[in-house]
Structure 1
Amino acid sequence: MKVYSPEFKADAVALYLSDPGHTFEGIGMDLGISRETLRNWVRAERARRGESGTTSTNTEGVPVSEATKQELEAGMAALRAELKTVRKENQKLATERGAACSRARCPRRTGPGRSIAAGTCRRGSPRS
């Protein structure tokens, strides 16, 4: 196991914490250490400072203007409506794909003057 000086550890942690865009992997590669080693050093430093190790998504107690809240709720409603529409379209496409696959497997395809015999498929055998 390699031993690193306290100064090196402190500099590595400071470098990582200096920019939210930094990753453990990127800084670790730049410094020649594993990402897990750097992650452990950062965790230890955050614990020493009394900081949380992860970003919190809990927004309770955070002041939000009424206009912002309404904008967010309207945006969420629009996204839910879009999701509902996309799911319906997806279901429709899945149904159409299934029908197309069934027609493609059957030698008696529909067309001018042709029709699929009821209940039959490939080689005239009953569909299962």
Structure 2
Amino acid sequence: KYDLSSIAAISYGGAPSAPELVSTIKKRFPDAAPGNGWGMTETCATATLNIGEDYVNRPGSAGAPPKAVELKICDPDGNPVPQGEVGELWCKGAMNCKAYWNRPEATAETFRDGWVVTGDLARLDEEGFL
């Protein structure tokens, strides 16, 4: 009913999507790059993006960070865990906000030395994909 041939990208964020969603997008929109990402308000929305062939090859990933973003996975004490292990995701970059307005306790809990302590459980693969 509609001409959708000009669609160049279809992206979304949130929880990981089902792998079959990628194949459905590629089938129905062969010229569009599917994508998924991760971010939060404190990281100015998207901090990772998994798009195009990377997403086709890693549909369960939220992507890799751009060069201006650092990610690390930490244990409950804030120490990095071995690569591939699940821990709490920390995110650092110039885009991060620095504090919560008039909430010093929440600021101290969430913002540490430029890092946003997200509260999200995650892992990074050998190529840095979340």
TM-score by length of 1: 0.19
Richer in strand (by share): 2
Richer in helix (by share): 1
With a CA cutoff of 8 Å and minimum separation of 6, indicate the structure with the bigger relative contact order: 2
TM-score by length of 2: 0.19
